[in-house]
Amino acid sequence: SQKIEQNSEALNIQEGKTATLTCNYTNYSPAYLQWYRQDPGRGPVFLLLIRENEKEKRKERLKVTFDTTLKQSLFHITASQPADSATYLCALSHYNQGGKLIFGQGTELSVKP
């Protein structure tokens, strides 16, 4: 069955460092991979999308890589700030599935000042 795995343990880093979150998937050939941010008690907020034929995508302090051979995406936040503390969700979609998005369980990031 399709499986999406993210670091189950919380990631704790110091302010100013680069946070790197991992998303691995099995039994899936996604057309698109997306990253979302979720704060406690709130709905997820879309951050970045990367297509299967793209290796890397950047947006301000965020960078996403997508390796379809390794079946892995890495999500980087450079110069991290305490305001970046949240849970980050990875999600995948395929061409022929009505646009439906399948989510990983998320990784909680805590940035300490």
**How many angstroms separate the CA atoms of 29 and 60, rounded?**
28
The CA-to-CA distance between both ends of the chain, in Å, stands at 41
Report CA torsion sign: 95, 35, 9, 70. Answer: positive
Among residues 32, 57, 63, 78, the one that binds another protein under rule CB under 8 A? 32
Dihedral (CA of 19, 25, 30, 35) sign: negative
113 lines the binding site for another protein (CB under 8 A): no
Question: Which residue, 2 or 18, is less far from another protein as judged by CB?
Answer: 2
Among positions 66, 93, 109, 111, the unique one binding another protein when judged by CB under 8 A: 93
> Which CB, 15 or 32, lies closer to another protein?
32
Q: Could you tell me which residues come within 8 angstroms of residue 70 by beta carbon, excluding any fewer than 6 positions away?
A: none
* Single-letter code of the amino acid located at 12: N
Per-residue mark of binding to another protein, 39-78 (x: CB under 8 A): --xxxxxxx-x-x---------------------------
Which residues in this chain contact another protein in the complex, by CB under 8 A?
4, 31-32, 34, 36, 41-47, 49, 51, 89, 91, 93-95, 98-106
